[in-house]
Amino acid sequence: MQVRKIMRTEVITVQASDPLVRAAELTTSEHIRHLPVLDGERLVGILSTKDIRHATPSPLLEGSQAEYRRVFRDTPVSRIMRCAPITVGPEASLAEAAELMVENKIGALPVVDGGRLVGIVSEIDLLKAFLAVLRAIE
C-alpha cells in the first residue's frame, strides 16, 4: 500500500515567521501533534508539540506572567522548528514510511511531491492501516 492511500491531504501548517503561540494554539485547537513549517509555499521545517513544550518557559520559573507571555508571543517558530524535515513521497510504500519513522525516531512525515507539500502521514495513520490489515486477516 502507498502513502497516498492513508495520508491526510488537508494539512495544517504554520509559517516560519509565525509566533510560537500560534503553533501552540493550532496544535491544541486542531488536536494535532505535528505542524509542517513553510516559508511561503516551501517546506522548511516541522514542529511537534514536544518541541513546543521544550521551548516554552515554565510558569513555575521566576519571572512575571507578562514575561512568560512575551516570550511565547515573540519567539518565531523558526527558532525552534526542526529544519530540513525528513519527507516521503506519496508513492512510497507504508513500509518505507514506517522505516523512516522508526530509524529517525519521529512521529510524522510531511508528504512532498515535486517539492510541494501535499500531505502528512503520522504514526497514528500507520497504526490505523496496520490495524485494518490485522482485522482483515483475522
pLDDT at site 71: 80
Cell of 136: 482483515
pLDDT at site 24: 93
- Any idea where the domains of the chain sit in the sequence? 3-137
Backbone angles phi, psi at 6, to 5 degrees: -120, -10
Number of H helices, E strands in the chain: 5, 6
Q: Are 19 and 77 in contact (CB under 8 A)?
A: yes
pTM of the model: 0.89
pLDDT at site 95: 96
pLDDT at site 66: 77
pLDDT tens digits, 10-32: 999 999 999 999 999 999 999 99
| CA neighbor of 122 nearest in space, from 30, 15, 23, 24 | 30
Q: Measured between alpha carbons, how far is 100 from 80 in angstroms, rounded to an integer?
A: 22
Per the model's pLDDT, the better-predicted residue between 66 and 106 turns out to be 106
Give Cα separations from 61 to 17, 38, 41, 56, 64 (angstroms): 26, 32, 38, 11, 9
When pLDDT is averaged across residues 128-138 and rounded to a whole number, the result is: 90
> H or E stretch including 96?
helix 94-104
Q: Are 35 and 124 in contact (CB under 8 A)?
A: no
When pLDDT is averaged across residues 123-135 and rounded to a whole number, the result is: 93
Answer whether residue 61 shows pLDDT above 70. no
Rounded (10°) angle between helices 20-29 and 65-74: 90
Q: Kindly indicate whether the domain formed by 3-137 is annotated with CATH number 3.20.20.220.
A: no
pLDDT at site 59: 66
Average pLDDT, the chain: 92
